[in-house]
Structure 1
Amino acid sequence: MEDASLKSFLEEVGYRVVDRTLSREYEVARLIAETQGCGPPLLARIEGVRQPVAINVVDTREKLYKALGVTGDSEAYAKIVDSTMRPGRLEYVDKPPLDEMPEGFEGLPAARFYEGEAGLYLSSGIVIACYEGVCNASIHRLLILGRERAAIRIVPRHLWHLYRKARERGEDLPATVVVGLHPAVLLAAATSPPLGVFELGLAAGMLGGSMKVYRSPVHGNPVPLGAAMVADVWITGEQVEEGPYVDALLTYDRVRQQPVVRLEAAYIKEGEYTHTIMGGSLEHVNLMGFPREASIWEAVRRALPRVRAVRLTPASGGWLHAVIAVEKQHEGDGKTAIMAAFAAHPSLKHVVVVDSDVDVDDPMQVEWAIATRFQADKDLVIIPRARGSTLDPSAADGLTAKMGLDATRPLDAGLGYERGRIPGFKWGSRRCR
């Protein structure tokens, strides 16, 4: 691919321009909330941000399909899984002309989205770090503390591993924050490949097998060609309070001590579009959940030959609840699918397995399957005190009770398990005409 710019994707799929400048205080949030899931991406101006800011870029599955160049779920999942197994090639090119951004962190497309949040948050930045020969790219929220300082939320995964390695040597971790990229790069950064598998390689695989990158101006970290904003930073040993912040579940994530990020230098690429994402929005849910759907699909597919659909539900933040449609070959297949899903996505809390005649995107049909095809004394799986998600406020120290519901009909089921059929009509959630 020539470059991985967000602008190229928006010009391919189309967008609508917002004809006013938005305040960082809640106005960006209101526009995202009012328009998500409806129509093309938006391009707006935000006060204090030099470049146009894209909103609701991949807030629907259809936009995700376009970002991956596919037509449906199975093709998309296969591309994500294949890129993890066979990453693409990074082609290093000369650094493009970049303009210094004297505003520093205060020039990033950060906003206050919800009442009670700690301040202006950037939730669309990819943090790229390389240390002792291991590179990682992942999405982390930044709380803006001033021109040269921000707080970063790091969960104990791969960036945390690199950070701890540096701190054990008494060093700050050199990293690069990148904003404004093709959504396939964001999807890749939201995956969890094994440590040592570089997520930019996954992005290259998703974008056709290769991706042009250049070295960041100060640290020399790989940056996808086409990035709108690039900031070389140090993740320091200093700790400050970070939060509250409204996360994917639309609940307030608690205040924690988190590392301070110190800015070394910030740059913009003229002519490119930058990007903002609101916590708990459909775009946030899609970017978090879609790669995990691919993991669940692959794990269940290895256990059962016919997996028709996987969905991490929007109401659960695209994270805690899954609905899986299968074609049973043997009794017990429903429970097998439940266990495979829990193994593939450890944060998963509840799983419902249904037959392929049930639309996983229709909560009424899923509830109908539970009402007519599920018996708690034989179809319920409960796993107490298992590792869960820190996003779940009802979990205790990350431990949760997991539940699986096998809402599939018996293989010898008769007409009593069938939904009534009307010729020329397809059941779905009721809509008035």
Structure 2
Amino acid sequence: MSETKKQPVHDLRSAIALLQSLKGEFVSTDTEVDPHAELSGVYRYVGAGGTCERPTRKGPAMMFNKVKGFPDVRVVTGLMSTRERVGHLLDCAPEKLGFLLKDSVHHAVAPVVISEKPLCQEVVHYAEDPEFDLRTLLPAPTNTEEDAGPYFTMGMCYASDPETHESDITIHRLCIQSRDELSMWLTPGRHIDAFREKAEKAGKPLPISISIGVDPAIEIAACFEPPTTPLGFNELSIAGALRGKPVELAPCVSINEKAIAHAEIVIEGELLPNVRVREDQNTNTGKAMPEFPGYTGEAKAELPVIKVKAVTHRKHPILQTTLGPSGEHVSMAGIPTEASILDMLERAMPGRVLNVNAHTSGGGKLLAVIQFKKSAPVDEGRQRQAALIAFAAFSELKHVILVDDDVDVFDTDDILWAMQTRFQGDVDIATIAGVRCHPLDPSQQPGYSASITQQGMTTKTIFDCTVPWHMKAHFERSKFKEVDVKRFLPDFE
């Protein structure tokens, strides 16, 4: 993808410029859109894809230039809603993205703090101003008419361990609750939740910055999880490796923390100790927002609260958002998942696993397809060992489909072909019951299965769609003659 080098990406605006230069990758509209349900409703048809309600499709990213009630702010969505677009943004072949991310973890480039005034602070609003109100300042979308409220879905949350001062960046569900308060849902095991717990035990607030509208390399890197990036590993260093230069941070204006210097918008605040709020207190819908499995999550009864101290932004800022079930979640969550699995499997059994796809249907989290090459009789059974290692590499993985080296892991038809012709349910399924997984899977609850004792537990399953070694000769695909198609169709791609 050498053509992308002509326009190097270093922030959101350069990412948009790159996509605008590529045919079919970016569209915009000057028709006024309501951020309440309408904006997401439009993009569902244009290009959301993923696990969204049908009809939807894989389509271009989209800019909304006129947002009702917010004349100075544009909203963009879907920058990474296709794997091909992520390839353009990271200058990498789509099928090699997992390998690129894997290698970047091992060549980390630490972020740096700049001394000059950052772009993200061209305009500053302090919450102590009586006219300050998040609800009228930023057009956070309400994804559906049932949502608990307006949500920031692409905020890069940055905080530091109050004891070690090690920092972490990650993405969380943030709902506007009042003029200067956000609720924050932290799924168990996230690093910032560990920082929050330490601060809360000491009775102190945890400073936190939320950077919105940044280089997509940061958004991808922020989605790495343990064990690939253990507590104390700053994922911004992965983004630094992806770009070959450090991510630049800047001191916040109202709290003792840093933010991403090139961000479009930064929300500065503190996670308050021992303060909780009901997520849907303003709507009483019982619903939160659409999440990656394709269902709307339940509103949480007690969530930590961020007290906002200030909002800073670039002139005429662009607010970036995403639809929870869209293909964008698959890219952000799935490609780091692939990298983590590839990394552990290459160390455990070099040369046997050729590729991994964190499949769209699982939102990039619940399903992985592993391409395994059996080279000798002793490899029989190692493919299932690879699946077990994948479960260890990514704890929220629920299902693994194993396929041979002649099956394209990025072609769902090919994967299902392998399942129909190389799989027998009585011998090719292996299950592990009573294992912790992701709480947003609605089937992971006691009412669904007697094996589930509490919500968030599951039965992890391996679907072995590989040919038994001793039968390989009976499963050779039909071979077609190699030809130069361009001799017949010069414009063929």
**TM-score, normalising length: structure 1:** 0.92
Please state how far the C-alpha of 1:2 moved relative to its aligned partner: 9.8
CA–CA separation in structure 1 for the residues paired with 2:310 and 2:157? 15
Question: Are 2:465 and 1:403 aligned?
Answer: no
State whether structure 2 residue 13 is matched by structure 1 residue 13. no
- 2-structure distance, mates of 1:414, 1:119: 55
Question: Residue 243 of structure 2 aligns with which residue?
Answer: 207
The alignment status of 1:145 with 2:177, answered yes or no, reads yes
Corresponding residue of 2:148: 118
1:248 aligns with 2:292: yes
Q: Which residue of 2 aligns with 1:344?
A: 393
DSSP-derived class of the 1:210 partner: coil
Aligned twin of 1:372: 421
Does the 8 A contact of 1:233 with 1:261 survive in 2?
yes
One-letter amino acid of the structure 2 residue matched with residue 326 of structure 1: F
Give the whole-Å Cα distance in 2 for the aligned partners of 1:172 and 1:211. Answer: 26
Counterpart Cα distance in 1 of 2:168 and 2:133: 23
- 1:135, CA displacement in angstroms? 1.0
Contact 2:223–2:336 (CA<8 Å) still a contact in 1? Answer: yes
Which deviates the most, 364-373 or 131-140?
364-373
Q: Distance in 1 between matches of 2:433 and 2:59?
A: 43
- 1:82 CA displacement: 3.1
Q: CA deviation at 1:337?
A: 1.8
SS at match of 1:376: coil
Is the CA contact (8 Å cut-off) linking 2:147 and 2:288 kept in structure 1? yes
CA distance in 2 between counterparts of 1:378 and 1:7 reads 52
> Are the structure 2 counterparts of residues 3 and 109 from structure 1 closer, same or farther at C-alpha, using a change threshold of 3 Å?
farther
Measure the CA separation in 2 of the matches of 1:119 and 1:154: 17
For the pair 1:218 / 2:238, whether they are aligned, the reply is no
The residue aligned with 2:52 is none
Matches of 2:146 and 2:75, distance apart in 1: 24
C-alpha distance after superposition, 1:352-401 (max 9, x if no partner): 10012212233332222122212334332111111211111121332111
**1:173 match:** 206
Residue 58 of structure 1 aligns with which residue? 80
User: Do the aligned partners of 2:102 and 2:342 also contact (CA within 8 Å) in 1?
Assistant: no
Q: Which runs of 5+ in 2 are unaligned?
A: 1-6, 21-25, 48-56, 126-130, 280-286, 445-453, 484-493
User: 1:39-88 deviations in whole A, cap 9, x for unaligned?
Assistant: 542221323443222111011111212222222433x3233223333321
1:321 matched to which residue of 2?
367
Amino acid at match of 2:298: R
For residue 383 of structure 1, give the secondary structure of its aligned residue in structure 2.
strand
Question: Are the structure 2 counterparts of residues 252 and 274 from structure 1 closer, same or farther at C-alpha, using a change threshold of 3 Å?
Answer: closer
Q: 1:335 Cα shift? A: 0.8
Are the structure 2 counterparts of residues 184 and 207 from structure 1 closer, same or farther at C-alpha, using a change threshold of 3 Å?
A: same
1:234 maps to amino acid: E
**Which residue is 2:490 aligned to?**
none
The aligned amino acid for 2:219 is: L
The equivalent of 2:223 in structure 1 is 190
SS in 2 for 1:161: helix
Q: What is the alpha-carbon distance in structure 2 between the residues aligned to residue 191 and residue 359 of structure 1?
A: 25
Alignment map for 1:231-310 (pairs within 5 Å): 231-236=267-272, 237-242=274-279, 243-256=287-300, 257-304=302-349, 305-310=351-356
Question: What is residue 62 of structure 2 aligned with on the other side?
Answer: 42
The CA deviation at 1:421 is 4.6
Give percent identity, aligned residues only. 29
Letter in 2 for 1:166: A
DSSP 3-state at the match of 1:324:
strand
What is the Cα-based RMSD across aligned positions, in Å? 2.2
What is the aligned residue count? 424
Q: Which moved more, 1:44-53 or 1:292-301?
A: 44-53
